[in-house]
Structure 1
Amino acid sequence: MRKSLHRASTVALSLALVSGTAAALAPTASAATSSTCTYNITDYGATVDGNGVNYRNGPGTTYYSKGLLYTGDRLKVICGKGNWYYSQLTRRSKSHLASGTHGWIRKDMLATLAG
């Protein structure tokens, strides 16, 4: 009985892997990182100027939002692409995104950018 239960769970896991269920755990090929940047901005501090600003997974409105940022949330800007900056939250956001979270924000949504 015990051996057949083990075999059944092994078969179920194998089927899940083959059917692609485990693929959802892997990062997508379109997931943006700092390697998407076309220019560098070395460790500049910035403050968000706007309420309900999307903090995105990539440099554009077609990328999903990780959450919202609000006036006064602080970021460290790392690099950019076009009108978008790749950044890292320097402390927990007002919407409770964790400190250290990386994401993309449109540069016109920032009040300050200082080195």
Structure 2
Amino acid sequence: MKMISRAAATAVSSALIFGGAVIAASPASAVGSSACDYRPAYSPVTKATTTVNLRNGPSTSYYSKGLLTKRVRFDKLCSRNNHLWFYGKVLDGPNRGKWGWVNGHYLRER
């Protein structure tokens, strides 16, 4: 019985360690402003034109960090792929304060 308990404890410990490694590795794959290929001297605050994903990187292959609903303000820092994707900070709503990438098709100047 003790052998089974030790084996179970070892398995659980290993799973927790492995799971922690996966969780710890996830933010390392985040793509921040270092992925930008254009940084304007000035960029006006924009608003989402519809509900849109705030992504971890500049394409739909990156995971969503949350949603920006219509009229949520987004402060653009820089862009990528000929202004198709913008990196910036969410200024309103439930994701206020988060940084991420938004597709420029869904952003308009105020």
Correspondences of 1:79-90 after superposition (within 5 Å): 79-82=78-81, 83-90=84-91
Please tell me the residue identity of whatever aligns with 1:26.
Answer: A
What CA deviation, in whole Å up to 9, does each residue of 1:44-65 have, x standing for no partner? 311111x221111110011111
Percent identity between the two aligned chains: 34
Question: Corresponding residue for 1:52?
Answer: 51
Amino acid of the residue matched to residue 52 of structure 2? V
Letter in 2 for 1:57: N
Q: Which runs of 5+ in 1 are unaligned?
A: 1-7
C-alpha displacement of 1:30: 2.7
Distance between the aligned counterparts of 2:63 and 2:42, measured in 1? Answer: 24
Superposed displacement of residue 102, structure 1: 0.5
TM-score (norm 2): 0.73
Deviation, structure 1 residue 103: 1.0
Of 1, 20, 27, the residue aligned with 1:22 is 20
Q: How many residues align?
A: 98
- CA RMSD of the aligned region, Å? 2.4
CA contact (8 A) 1:43 1:76 kept: no
In the TM superposition, residue 41 of structure 1 has moved relative to its aligned partner by 3.0
Q: Report Cα offsets for 1:42-96 as digits up to 9, x if no partner.
A: 56311111x22111111001111112212210011001111100010122x2xx2
List structure 1 runs of 4+ shifted beyond 2 angstroms: 11-17, 27-30, 41-44
